[in-house]
Amino acid sequence: MSDRFLVSGGNRLVGEVVVGGAKNSVLKLMAAALLAEGTSVITNCPDILDVPLMAEVLRGLGCEVELEGDEARITTPAQPKYQADFAAVRQFRASVCVLGPLVARCRKAVVALPGGDAIGSRPLDMHQTGLRLLGAHSTIEHGCVVAEADALHGNAIRLAFPSVGATENILMAAVLANGETTIDNAAREPEIVDLCNMLVQMGARISGAGTSTLTITGVSRLEPTTHRVIGDRIVAATWGIAAAMTRGDVRVRGINPKHLSLVLDKLRSAGAEVTPEVDGFRVVQHDRPRAVNFATLPYPGFPTDLQPMAIGLAAVADGTSMITENVFEARFRFVEEMIRLGADARTDGHHAVVRGVEELSSAPVWSSDIRAGAGLVLAGLCADGVTEVHDVYHIDRGYPRFVEIIEELGGVIERVNSES
């Protein structure tokens, strides 16, 4: 059984939040340490549950991993093990990112099909297709992805969809392949650029980071490095949207505001005063937010990870909003929980229509994934009475110091042990 949060509504969030490293980057950077024998150091690691989980995956592959403060020291042996332990991998989706590095270093990988958030189908077809084009034989056997190659050779690869995970795995395999690889329709997320920057520091030859075409010229060997994780734009945007929902005033620091240009524009459309700063932004919302339409798309579009927060904002806005989900088909299951809180919302396929109400009403709700859990807490901050949010271990996987930050901003929230 999981702990639960008791969230009391009615308070404006006011103050400053310093955001740590990006969850969607740090786990891939930790996996990239497999590509070089020796000790790599990753700094600005977020204090979230997935970091020690990834450390366990790497230890199972023969690495020594030390986690201290916001730093991870990963010492990779000359010959890593190639089989990722099922018990560790099954707990979170990002564990599949060891597939590419293991094929590159060991010429073989056996990685259990990963678990993670229940937000829809996320098959590994593009991962496997990319590795096959690099010369690997890849199958699904006994609940595991199995990939083997006598040698990896560069190739022209075009992704059917700009998948972040597939881009990362193919990229990390290609850096040690013979010859040149191009990945067309590659993911463009800032976290991909962060990974490319670390790989280049290790000696990889990569061009086109941040564009839809990556060109990788394989090298024979990489060296360990020290790298700082970029700030978490999803966590930062969550606090910005929380300010708008609660009619608050929140300054967020620790990220590049250019990574959230579209999100900040949407908050302006909702009536917020948004001020970009050197290392963040400030959101001030004086009145009830205005209704705004959202459509999720791969970067630089509106992030699917912020869709629950967009629905939360729409639920308390003045007017009717249309939210379109173009990335993960099951993400709208979150709407059922919002309806428990009094949201006037209907879903039809990829679309949700939300008619804003003046105030939500407290109720017990259940989080199905990291972002849904955060969205439900934000909604609870705008509801009368006390909202119980269950299964909050999801939130712990993506948001450092979640309860403490809300309290520091003036919100009322309490973590209750599952046995209480």
pLDDT digits (tens, 9 = 90+) for 367-406: 988 999 999 999 999 999 999 999 999 999 899 999 999 9
The pLDDT of residue 85 is: 72
Neighbouring-strand partners of residue 366: 390
Catalytic annotation, pick one of 3, 50, 70, 117: 117
Neighbouring-strand partners of residue 262: none
The pLDDT of residue 142 is: 84
Query: What's this model's pTM, rounded to 2 decimal places?
Result: 0.95
Handedness of CA 237, 239, 245, 247 (dihedral sign): negative
What are the extents of the domains in the chain? 4-19+231-416, 23-228
Task: Assess whether 391 carries a catalytic annotation.
Answer: no
pLDDT class for 1, splitting at 50, 70, 90? low
Tokens standing for residue 251: 């300054």
Please count the residues of the chain: 420
Q: Is 23 flagged in the annotation as binding?
A: yes
pLDDT digits (tens, 9 = 90+) for 230-264: 999 999 999 999 999 999 999 999 999 999 999 99
Alpha carbon separation from 319 to 287, 325, 356, 384 (Å, rounded): 14, 20, 6, 20
For 18, other C-beta atoms within 10 Å of its C-beta total 15
Please, are residues 97 and 124 in contact by the beta-carbon 8 Å criterion? no
For 401: left if phi > 0, alpha if psi spans -120 to 50, otherwise beta; the answer is left
pLDDT class for 273, splitting at 50, 70, 90? very high
Q: Is 279 flagged in the annotation as binding?
A: no
The pLDDT of residue 115 is: 56
pLDDT digits (tens, 9 = 90+) for 33-75: 999 999 999 999 999 988 999 999 999 999 999 999 999 999 9
Q: Is 24 flagged in the annotation as binding?
A: yes
CA 207 to CA 257: how far, in whole Å? 24
The pLDDT of residue 420 is: 55
CA 324 to CA 231: how far, in whole Å? 27
Tokens standing for residue 185: 């329709």
Q: Is 93 flagged in the annotation as binding?
A: yes
> Which CATH class name applies to 4-19+231-416?
alpha beta
Tokens standing for residue 316: 């308390």
Alpha carbon separation from 184 to 101, 157, 163 (Å, rounded): 20, 6, 11
Phi and psi, residue 250, nearest 5°: -130, 130
> Which residue is listed with tokens 């955001």?
19
The pLDDT of residue 293 is: 98
Interaxial angle between packed helices 233-245 and 307-315, expressed in degrees from 0 to 180 and rounded to the nearest 10: 0
Angle at 301 between CA 298 and CA 305, to 5 degrees: 65
Tokens standing for residue 353: 């229509």
Q: Is 233 flagged in the annotation as binding?
A: no
Please determine whether the domains at 4-19+231-416 and 23-228 fall in the same fold group of CATH. yes
CATH of the domain spanning 23-228, picked from 3.40.50.80, 3.65.10.10, 3.40.50.720, 3.40.1160.10: 3.65.10.10
